[in-house]
A and B are shown apart, each in its own frame.
Chain A
Amino acid sequence: MTLVFYVFAVWAVASALLCISRSNALSSALWLVSTMFALAAIFVILQAEFIAIIQVLVYAGAVMVLFLFVIMLLNLEVVPHDWRRWRGWVIGIGLAGVLGALLVPLGVYTPARLAREVSTMPGTVDPHLVFPEGDAMAAANVAYGAVGSVAQPLFQAYLIPFEITSVLLLAAVIGAVVLAKRKL
């Protein structure tokens, strides 16, 4: 299992690197799709089967197809001067490096260490935040099934936010139509 995870991890990082380094926007988009497939696989390993399916359907499917449509519509395979000059490179790589230096060390965390740090935080600690040593998702999947375990809180605790997303989507639809249409 761990081996499979690392295979997909390397795949994801490589695809992402290619995605940001291809001059052709079309191939960038395709490498991004590849990254997303790798992530979907990792989601499955992390016991998030439903999210993995959605990732493939919505992200790799719908959203990226939208990107490809726009790229082809604008006929933008290669844009000259797509790269910033050396100053942009210095700033970009420098900031990304600092950010990476701060974030990548998070990899040292294990569930036990996280639970210890959270429980020793000053102030009152919510007992739910002190993670038990165990696999909560696995238990939930056994109890409700992969889809049921997501649906259970989605239609109960998170019902109102879920409904509000419909308003968000409606607004996005109207906005997209208004912006993209030549003449209303």
Chain B
Amino acid sequence: MIQLVWLAVLLPLIGAVLNGILAIRRPGAKTAVSVIGVGTLLGSFGVAVGTFTELLHAPVASFRVLLWQWLPVSDRFSVDLAFQVDHLSAVMLLVITGVGGLIHLFSVGYMRSDPGYARYFAYLNLFIVFMLVLVLGASLPVSYIGWEGVGLCSYLLIGFWYEVDTNSDAGKKAFLANRIGDFGVLIAMFLLWWSLGTLEYTGITMRAGAEFSIGSTMPLLIALFLFLGCTGKSAQIPLYVWLPDAMAGPTPVSALIHAATMVTAGVFLVVRTAAIFTLAPVALEVVAIVGALTAFFAASIGLRQYDIKKVLAYSTVSQLGYMFLGVGTGAFASGIFHLITHAFFKALLFLGAGSVIHSMHHALHHARSHADAQDMRNMGGLRRWMPWTFALMLLATLAIAGVPPFAGFFSKDEILAAAFARGTEQPIYLVCWALGLVAALMTAFYMARLVAMTFLGKYRGGDMSAAHLHEAPLMMTAPLVVLGALAVAGGLINLPHFAGGHAWLEHWLEPVTEVAAMVMKPLPELARSQEALLILLAITAAVAGLIGGYVLTSRTVIATPEHAAPERGLWRVLYHKFYVDELYQLVFVNPVMWVSRTALWQTVDAFLIDRIGVGGTARVAEGLGWLGSRLQNGQVAFYVAMFAVGAVLILRTLVR
């Protein structure tokens, strides 16, 4: 099955092509689209399971599946289109096809009435193709195909309802922010080729240790440029601004691309190139600090958002920060662990929010109300109508808040413990740990607030619409239930020793991280009492946040958006997201606009090129033509005279 892993990529590709054809020819053939879209993903998931089980019993940990020679440039440089199946990509393969399949299934219900149904599934299938190429690629260029491809699909799906300007603007913003990051990855690739002469992951891993010494400049540069790409793709400071806007896309897209899979590509890339990062301790510190800061910063913004998807978006940014904190600490397995558990519970949260929005939209539509179906101030008390969604969202909330024994607790606790342990030697990591802990508190707080505002209390959308509220259809709740089970039990795959587990994932990923582990100093062992204290702190933060969020939200009277009082003080700063968008507008967008308009357009283009260049040559030609036309006066005698003059001149030179 391992050698057939390309089937997992080919099947969704076929699905994307077929759905694309259907989108153009028969947009109404929704049953066929659903069967193709979900069917190919199920097939892909089957291939993933087969690959994984074979890998479990395989004698070697890494396989290279060569498809064809792609760029045979010279003897020294050739890139093959090859897939690398190892313990890391197999896990990613399972997560992507599994969670992706569930979200495809959910989309069948969610997008049912959308006129762009076929187009939606074509994009979604294409996204899976590129995401699989990204994680399966055996070399950076192959992964880069996927890296760019997922960016493209993300752009297409954010602007899926492109009739509304803000949606297509959000798509463009995402694309541009990602381009900055992609530029970093490109530079990193050039540097890698220049210094190591290979772009294959295995080659990089093998040669990096021999070529570079720890702490030298080249790996630092490469690592920082790679990380620049990661900040773009994975929405870290300073390039995170696109992700909250990306919520303009359909909610299942937010769940799949902007929570579970694509945005975690950065974390994946850091783990894949761990050999480079471990040789540049400064880069690792940068990764950890950026991760911790992002986790803290985004969580604080999430405290005061009212759009249910915006809260989740900032939550995603914050959780991605945790993952980077994990890998920046050198606990690569913990980062991947959090990536997996986050995929489960964040997909569940988004799909739950999707259910809520679906229901709210339906109800408000029937009541002819123009209120925002995503604004939590219009919700409240939905528990009565949507018990299943409520229960599952509650599970996911407990998971993300880090309440044991749910999945999020183990993964988050591992990352914080690793940061603390590293902090006993390098104090900078202690700061990261503290930021992470406070972020955990805030995470619990805003999640409790979200649940309280949405499901508890009294319905604020008006009686007219209340009559039309309903639970989502089975097609939508079934994936939620599966994800709920995963969110509860996901922690089992890396159950730590103190909880009676064997840290399976950590051992499973050892073949991938062993080279990095050899270079890095191992994490200092924490004493039993310290470990217990840390866990206690984490649990306290989670519970305190949950209770605080619930109490504060349910105590205050929530006004609907049109009656809301203006925000004040710190809340106002948080509500306006620290004014980062405005700052970027001022610092980057406006100068670029000025240079483009005044300097480049009006001066260079309109004046220099159009007036002087194009107009000037035309005027010179016109002048020469006028001079020439004076010679053509139509008089034969004049021509003959000119001819005679010419003859005289020629003879003057010939006859001496």
Contacts and interface: CB of A to CB of B under 8 A. Distances in A.
B585 to A, nearest CB: 74
Contacts of B647: 99
Contact of A91 (B641, B651, B655): B641
A82 to B, nearest CB: 13
B: interface residue count bin: under 10
A95 B655 contact: no
B238 to A, nearest CB: 76
B644 interface: yes
Contacts of B652: 102
A1 interface: no
A106 interface: yes
A88 interface: yes
A98 interface: yes
A99 B644 contact: yes
Nearest to B655: A102
A91 B637 CA distance: 10
Contact of B651 (A84, A92, A103): A103
Contact of B637 (A88, A96, A98): A88
B518 interface: no
A102 B641 contact: no
A48 B651 CA distance: 28
B655 A99 contact: no
Contacts, number: 22
Contact of B648 (A91, A92, A95): A95
B641 A99 contact: no
Contacts of B648: 95, 98-99, 102
A135 B554 CA distance: 131
A98 B641 CA distance: 12
B614 interface: no
Contacts of A92: 641
A114 to B, nearest CB: 13
B638 to A, nearest CB: 9
B4 interface: no
Nearest to B650: A102
A79 to B, nearest CB: 15
Contacts of B651: 99, 102-103
Contact of B645 (A88, A95, A103): A95
B652 to A, nearest CB: 7
B637 A84 contact: yes
A118 to B, nearest CB: 13
Given A95-B644, A98-B648, A99-B648, 17 more contacts: A84-B637, A88-B637, A91-B641, A92-B641, A95-B641, A95-B648, A96-B644, A99-B644, A99-B647, A99-B651, A102-B651, A102-B652, A102-B655, A103-B651, A103-B655, A105-B655, A106-B655
Q: 7 shortest A-B CB distances, which residue pairs?
A: A95-B644, A102-B651, A98-B648, A91-B641, A102-B655, A99-B648, A95-B641
9 contacts: A88-B637, A95-B645, A98-B648, A99-B644, A99-B648, A102-B648, A102-B651, A102-B655, A106-B655
Interface of A: 84, 88, 91-92, 95-96, 98-99, 102-103, 105-106
